[in-house]
Amino acid sequence: MLTEIGATRPATLRLTVPCDLKEVRPAAQEIAAFLAEQNCNHDEMTACGLALAEACNNAIHHAPSDAHSFPIRIETQVTRDAIEIRVTDHTHGFDWPKDIALPEQGSESGRGLFIIHSVSDRAGYLRGQDENILFFRHVRTSRPKETDLAPRDSVTEQLIDEVSSCYESLAAIFRHSAAAHAGTQFQAFAQQLLNDLQRIVKADWSVLRLLSADAKSLEVFANSGADPDHPSVILDASGVLPQEPEAQAASSRRPVWFNDATSSGLAYPIFGSEQLAGTLTLGRNTKGQGTIGSTIFNTSQTNVISTLADFLMIQVERARTAEAQLTTRATERELEIARNIQLSLLPQQLPSLPGVRMAGHCESARQVGGDFYDALPVGDEATLLVIADVMGKGMPAALFAATLRTALRTAPELFRKPGQLLARANQLLHNELSAVDMFITAQLALVDVKANRVIIASAGHGPLLLWHGGTTHCQALSPEGLPLGVRPDTSFEEMGLALAPQFSLMMSTDGLGEAKNIAGQHFGQPALQQWFATSARNSDTAIAMRESLLTELGNFRGEAPLADDQTFLIAARTPE
């Protein structure tokens, strides 16, 4: 630790500066303003400024590439007797020479050390393992005489002011923490905090701006004692130097002092999780008073602004987290309701045909999906089976699935003509589907046990699997037809086949064949067809086939999550 300077507690300013040459000048200006506040004269400020610039340039120029992400720390201490500045770098370090002489003409090496040595009363370099400290001390020529009590009164007044500010800021933090935990709305909470902060630092006005959702502007969130019609601050990403102090603070990630025709103050950037969250600006009305820049708030007031700005950021993050949790819970509840509605649209009980039993299954990869199946009675001895898959997942797909279900059910006169029924549904839904670049694949199958016949129509859907008793393989049937929503006027081919005394048929969505296991392998359409043919020969009922398929898919998928909606509908007739 460096030597203690003077008998009284030193006034201290600590800065953290990015390892970038362009950041040295703003830091030097801030330190100069601090020295002026401590009543240092022009010569003292000039000498310290020269030494500081050389120390910072050395720290940046000699920093290895892997250390550029580490900032330079500058600590300035001022007492009545001396000024001492310490610059912490992350270079490989060097040995401070015993004799420092003026370098030869044209040589840059050693120039910085010579300047620091020349303008300082004492200087040195402390090497460490991970960081080093270059320090220099300048004895004040402007220090007051021991018999003059005014400076000591000034120091005492400064200490009292600082302690008072710290006490008030801590009291404000405790008070507002209690309000935050009591559930006070965040905007009202922020407004109260601004009022307290403004009073503590004796500002005339304050404004809190938060970063917009698109990160392109700073929007006013709360203000105190200021013109309520504050405009948004646009963050220019084109590289043009911004004019507003808030934009400058946001881009530089450092506090920015400002002075205009009517006011002077400080714009302070606030961050959450290393990301810009907004700015806090405080000022005083200085029109005609000649007050400039950093003299508007003293060091203790600036520290209070910094402390409460950081506290405010914690509350911003807390409020956003709470809001996100509420939104998530509300969304989950809405999706749960939507899921229940979607399940209610599936047939609660599948119709029975003489000798034919049916079983269906629908499982969404998300809480809601775009798959559905239906079974519509057509007289006493026929049923229209429906299966559909809306492109995509989630709520939009579920809405279109429900709309298609309604469109099909409102045309019972076409239940015996699956191709015409698909054409009508396509005409009704085309404009809405094409407007959002979505489409639907669907398949209809009229099972008529009186005529022992099935009529199939498809809108770009996967094949219907049909097995007849006494055979070892199944048929994969897929009539021609574009998906719904591709063209406004589309015709759909119908395919009619005779049904054997014993048969099984299955309609399914592509989520079955595209099911993945933990290794990323697909179940595949060939495996699905092989399972169907084997299960149809060995099973007596559609329900047994459904349970067998669910077991088969579950064993294949293992711990892998469901990647796509899975829906299928099975009808099976066994001989009497």
Q: List, for residues 350-373, the tens digit of each pLDDT value.
A: 988 999 999 999 888 766 677 889
Q: For position 237, what pLDDT does the model report?
A: 60
Q: Cβ atoms within 10 A of the Cβ of 501, count?
A: 13
* pLDDT of 446: 97
Q: Average pLDDT across each block of 10 residues of the chain; the chain has 576 residues. List them in order.
A: 43 88 88 89 88 89 86 90 92 85 64 84 86 91 53 44 48 46 62 81 88 86 72 69 80 85 86 81 75 65 78 72 70 66 78 91 78 91 94 77 89 94 94 90 95 96 93 92 92 95 94 88 92 89 92 90 86 81
Give the residue from 213, 315, 204, 324 showing the smallest Cα distance to 270.
315
- DSSP result, 500-534: -SSEEEEEE-TTTTT-B-TTS-B--HHHHHHHHHH
What pLDDT, in 10s, does the model give residues 496-507?
A: 999 999 999 999
Asked if residue 501 lies in contact with residue 469, where contact means CB atoms within 8 angstroms, the answer is yes
Strand order in the sheet with 275-285: 233-234, 217-224, 205-211, 275-285, 263-272, 256-259
Instruction: Look at residue 426 in the predicted model and tell me its pLDDT.
Output: 94
The closest alpha carbon to 86, from 129, 40, 55, 111, belongs to: 55
Q: Please give the C-alpha separations between residue 145 and each of 45, 477, 570, in angstroms, as whole numbers.
A: 20, 106, 103
Phi, psi values for residue 98, rounded to 5°: -70, -40
Q: What angle do CA 98, 99, 104 make, to 5 degrees?
A: 140
Half-sphere exposure of 373 (CA within 13 A, CB side): 26
Backbone angles phi, psi at 504, to 5 degrees: -140, 140
Give the Cα separation of 576 and 563 in Å (integer).
Answer: 41
Quote the longest CA-to-CA distance of the chain.
122
Please give the domain boundaries of the chain with CATH numbers for all domains.
1-143 (3.30.565.10), 147-345 (3.30.450.40), 352-573 (3.60.40.10)
Q: How far is CA 481 from CA 369, 382, 430, 487, in A?
A: 23, 23, 15, 11
Residue 330 CB neighbour total at 10 angstroms: 10
> Which H or E element spans position 398?
helix 394-409
Residue 401 has a pLDDT of 86
The predicted pLDDT at position 159 comes to: 44
Which run of H or E residues covers position 218? strand 217-224
Backbone angles phi, psi at 9, to 5 degrees: -65, 130
The whole-angstrom separation of Cα 428 and Cα 416 is: 19
| β-strand partners of 503 | 468, 573
Residue 547 makes CB contacts below 8 A (sequence gap 6+) with: none
| pLDDT tens profile 233-284 | 888 665 555 678 888 888 888 888 888 778 888 998 888 767 888 899 998 8
Distance CA 457, CA 448 (A): 15
Q: What is the DSSP string of 135-170?
A: EEEEE-SSPPPTT-HHHHHHHHHHHHHHHHHHHHHH
